[in-house]
Chains A and B, each alone.
Chain A
Amino acid sequence: MLSRCSRAFTTAHQFRRLQSTLVIAEHNDKTLTPITGNAVSAAQQLGGDVTVLVAGAQCGAAAESAAKLTGVARVLVAENEAFKGLVPEAITPLVLAAQNQFKFSHIVAGASAFGKSLAPRIAAKLDVSPISEVIAIRSADTFVRTIYAGNAILTFKAKDPVKVITIRSTNFPPAPEGGSAGVEKAPDGDYKTDLTTFVSQELTKSDRPELTSAKIIISGGRGLKSGDNFKLLYDLADKFGAAVGASRAAVDAGYVPNDLQIGQTGKIVAPELYIAVGISGAIQHLAGMKDSKTIVAINKDPEAPIFQVADYGLVADLFKAVPEMTGKL
Chain B
Amino acid sequence: MSRVLVGVKRVIDYAVKIRVKPDKLGVVTEGVKHSMNPFDEIAVEEAVKMKEKKIASEIIAVSVGPAQSQEVIRTALAMGVDRGIHVEVSGADYELLQPIHVSKILAKLAQEEKVDLVILGKQAIDDDANQTAQMTAAQLDWPQATFASKVEKTDAGLTVVREIDGGLETIKCKVPAVISADLRLNTPRYATLPNIMKAKKKPIKKVTPKDLGVDTAPRIEVISVEDPPVRQAGAILPDVDTLIGKLKEGGHIK
User: For the side of the interface on A, what is the size category?
Assistant: 35 or more
Cβ contact within 8 Å between B17 and A283 = yes
Cβ contact within 8 Å between B220 and A85 = no
Q: Which of B67-75, B198-206, B221-229 has 4 or more CB atoms under 8 Å from chain A? A: B221-229
Is A146 in contact with chain B by the CB < 8 A criterion?
yes
B-chain residues with CB within 8 Å of residue A147 when the two chains form the complex: 27, 126-128, 225
Cβ contact within 8 Å between A199 and B170 = yes
Is B193 in contact with chain A by the CB < 8 A criterion?
no
Q: Which of B51-59, B80-88, B161-169 has 4 or more CB atoms under 8 Å from chain A? A: B161-169
CB distance from A96 to the nearest CB of B (A): 11
Contact partner, B128, options A119, A132, A195, A283, Cβ 8 Å: A132
Contact partner, B100, options A123, A156, A329, Cβ 8 Å: A123
Complex: how many Å from CA A315 to CA B240?
10
Known contacts A149-B125, A258-B149, A325-B240; is A313 also within 8 Å of B220 by CB?
Answer: no
Contact partner, A264, options B128, B172, B220, B253, Cβ 8 Å: B128
Cβ contact within 8 Å between A216 and B252 = yes
- Of residues 123 through 150 on chain B, the ones whose CB sits less than 8 Å from some CB of chain A are 123, 125-132, 134-139, 141-147, 149
Encoded as 1 (CB less than 8 Å from any A CB) or 0, chain B from 180 to 209 comes to 001110000000000000000000000000
- Of residues 62 through 97 on chain A, the ones whose CB sits less than 8 Å from some CB of chain B are 85, 87-89, 92
Cβ contact within 8 Å between A113 and B170 = no
Cβ contact within 8 Å between B231 and A201 = no
A-chain residues with CB within 8 Å of residue B228 when the two chains form the complex: 146, 150-153, 290
Complex: how many Å from CA A310 to CA B27?
26
Q: Which residue in chain A gives the minimum CB-CB distance to B158?
A: A196
Cβ contact within 8 Å between A125 and B227 = no
Cβ contact within 8 Å between A121 and B138 = yes
Cβ contact within 8 Å between B128 and A313 = no
Which A residues are closer than 8 A to B by beta carbons?
85, 87-89, 92, 112-114, 116-125, 127-130, 132-133, 142, 145-160, 194-204, 212, 216, 240, 248, 251-252, 257-259, 264-265, 267, 272-273, 283-284, 290, 294-296, 302, 307-316, 321, 324-325, 328-329
Excluding A196-B174, A265-B39, 8 further A-B contacts by CB distance (< 8 Å) are A124-B135, A129-B98, A130-B131, A158-B219, A294-B252, A308-B231, A309-B234, A313-B235
